[in-house]
């Protein structure tokens, strides 16, 4: 069985068992007539008051157990619709969290788009209503910015406020991922530097560190998006107190990022979503992969998988760079395959995973250190196959495993994929953007905790991160006087 873990039965506590059995036997005895032959003589000698004294505390104990069970199974943040099935409930704030978006100088937002356009021979557009975000994979920064700028937005878990004194969160809308790639041929032949990402990062921090609301709480209540693994790399140690919106932790240190304080985002999918029906009749290929064969760091497994899989029947595995033709071929391949391979790239995650999800092509994830978005509402074992790296590179192992999956099981995977597909659609009103803000809003109690904690702790210089890895290591003392 795929993704199946052994379920250990948990024995009922002996004390509770004895209470229940005592209650049951007492109830059955008291309901029988005195002349019943099933009542032993020893039972007949128990006075009525004695039986009642046993029954009352037993029933009280059982009621107390049920009350405690009901209490601890009620969410701290109940979903507004308590009639929903348990598996669809998730934590939401009691009210929308007020968020203030900084009105950054243009060079950090639209100016980055201008620089990207100029570096490719285009002309900047002064009419912001006609500006489109170049690229696709890291478009989350554009979607969040556009959402907060939308005067008609509603139903979100955060509400934009114009008065920073009323805000509990502060969003810094720097297009950090686009800034990283604004120059098309960095260092190559004929390279002409028209834009400098490192200088822009430094300039951002100079501006931000002058702001009252940044200094007030040491950045704990600030939200930054740095979806590309290298985005904000120059200044990440200066923003690490904030909530970082990232795609994985592949290039971040354990004192810079944490699942506790940060939010994992999905990449924007590059291929069209699958609009057909669930089923395997039109999916003739067993498995599909198209991408860069040679990657550094964690992506070295790709070349090994190519060697093992490229001669296998019903497996399509191709080397391909990003281009319009590659996207067309990838769309065709993912829409007509049962499984889609997702090995690690330069970092544990890649946009290919989300291309597979919206294609209803069951992802086969071979990335031992991957972090996945929205895991409090998505059980990825229901929509993906996970194979550890050491097993995946054994000749014959992977194809044998997948060929053993029955048709009904594949359809079950597809059905679950369809249920969660909207979480990976940035353009849908109830899609990715709304879910990102929910995840951010749930960090607020922790942020308040860290602000108060930060204000009373003696600051210390640590050789390495302690158990509270989200704390910054600083020197100095605080006083409450």
pLDDT at 17 over 50: no
Evaluate whether 256 touches 388 at the Cβ level (below 8 Å): no
Listed in sequence order, the DSSP H helices in 240-323 are 301-309
pLDDT digits (tens, 9 = 90+) for 457-466: 776 666 665 5
* Element at 179 (helix H, strand E): helix 176-180
Evaluate whether 332 touches 281 at the Cβ level (below 8 Å): no
371 vs 462 pLDDT, higher one: 371
Least confident of 28-37, 52-61, 125-134, 438-447: 28-37
Closest to 344 (Cα-Cα) out of 368, 379, 316, 317: 368
Euclidean distance between CA atoms 242 and 224, whole angstroms: 7
71 vs 128 pLDDT, higher one: 128
Euclidean distance between CA atoms 439 and 91, whole angstroms: 9
473 vs 187 pLDDT, higher one: 187
5 vs 425 pLDDT, higher one: 425
Q: Dihedrals φ, ψ of 149, to 5°?
A: -90, -5
Least confident of 24-33, 67-76, 401-410, 430-439: 24-33
Q: Dihedrals φ, ψ of 250, to 5°?
A: -60, -35
Q: Dihedrals φ, ψ of 433, to 5°?
A: -60, -45
Closest to 92 (Cα-Cα) out of 156, 160, 159, 161: 156
Euclidean distance between CA atoms 102 and 19, whole angstroms: 61
Beta strands in 209-356 (DSSP E): 222-225, 243-246, 263-264, 285-291, 315-319, 337-343
Euclidean distance between CA atoms 59 and 27, whole angstroms: 10
> What pLDDT sits at residue 60?
55
pLDDT digits (tens, 9 = 90+) for 269-307: 989 999 999 999 999 999 999 988 776 655 678 889 999
pLDDT at 38 over 80: no
Closest to 106 (Cα-Cα) out of 216, 247, 203, 223: 203
pLDDT digits (tens, 9 = 90+) for 176-208: 999 999 987 655 555 567 899 999 999 999 999
Q: Are strands 158-160 and 169-172 parallel, antiparallel or unpaired?
A: unpaired
> What pLDDT sits at residue 143?
97
Degrees, nearest 5: CA angle 183-189-195: 20
Euclidean distance between CA atoms 465 and 148, whole angstroms: 35
* Residue labelled with tokens 């037993």: 58
29 vs 148 pLDDT, higher one: 148
């Amino acid at each position: 069985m795929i993704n199946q873990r052994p379920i250990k039965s948990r024995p009922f506590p002996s004390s509770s068992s004895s209470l229940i059995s005592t209650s049951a036997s007492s109830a059955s005895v008291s309901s029988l007539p005195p002349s019943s032959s099933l009542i032993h003589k020893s039972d007949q000698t128990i006075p009525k008051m004695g039986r009642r004294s046993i029954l009352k505390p037993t029933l009280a104990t059982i009621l107390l157990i049920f009350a405690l069970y009901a209490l601890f199974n009620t969410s701290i943040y109940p979903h507004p619709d308590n009639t929903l099935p348990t598996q669809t409930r998730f934590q939401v704030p009691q009210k929308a969290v007020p968020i203030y978006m900084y009105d950054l100088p243009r060079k950090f937002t639209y100016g980055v788009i201008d620089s990207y356009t100029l570096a490719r021979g285009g002309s900047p557009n002064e009419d912001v209503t006609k500006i489109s975000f170049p690229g696709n994979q890291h478009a989350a920064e554009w979607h969040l910015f556009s959402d907060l700028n939308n005067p008609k937005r509603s139903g979100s878990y955060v509400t934009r406020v114009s008065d920073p004194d009323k805000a509990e969160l502060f969003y810094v809308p720097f297009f950090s991922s686009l800034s990283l790639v604004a120059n098309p041929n960095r260092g190559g032949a004929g390279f002409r530097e028209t834009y400098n990402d490192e200088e822009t990062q430094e300039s951002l921090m100079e501006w931000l560190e002058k702001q009252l609301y940044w200094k007030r709480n040491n950045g704990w209540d600030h939200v930054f998006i740095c979806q590309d693994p290298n985005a904000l790399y120059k200044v990440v140690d200066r923003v690490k107190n904030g909530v970082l919106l990232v795609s994985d932790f592949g290039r971040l240190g354990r004192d810079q990022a944490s699942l506790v304080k940060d939010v994992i985002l999905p990449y924007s999918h590059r291929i069209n979503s699958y609009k057909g029906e669930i089923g395997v009749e039109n999916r003739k290929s067993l498995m599909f992969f198209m991408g860069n064969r040679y990657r550094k760091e964690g992506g070295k497994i790709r070349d090994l998988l190519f060697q093992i899989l490229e001669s296998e029947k019903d497996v399509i595995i191709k080397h391909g760079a990003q281009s319009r033709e590659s996207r067309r071929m990838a769309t065709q391949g993912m829409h007509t395959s049962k499984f889609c391979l997702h090995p690690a790239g330069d970092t544990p995650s890649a946009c290919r995973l989300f291309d597979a999800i919206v294609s209803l092509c069951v992802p086969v994830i071979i990335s031992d250190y991957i972090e996945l978005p929205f895991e409090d509402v998505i059980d990825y074992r229901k929509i993906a196959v996970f194979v550890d790296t050491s097993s995946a590179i054994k000749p014959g192992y992977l194809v044998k495993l997948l060929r053993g999956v029955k048709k009904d099981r594949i359809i079950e995977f597809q059905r679950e994929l369809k249920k969660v597909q909207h979480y990976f659609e940035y353009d849908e009103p109830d899609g990715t953007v709304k879910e990102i803000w929910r995840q951010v809003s749930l960090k607020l109690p922790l942020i308040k905790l860290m602000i108060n904690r930060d204000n009373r702790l003696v600051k210390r210089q640590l050789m390495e991160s302690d158990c509270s890895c989200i704390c910054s290591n600083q020197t100095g003392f605080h006083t409450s006087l």
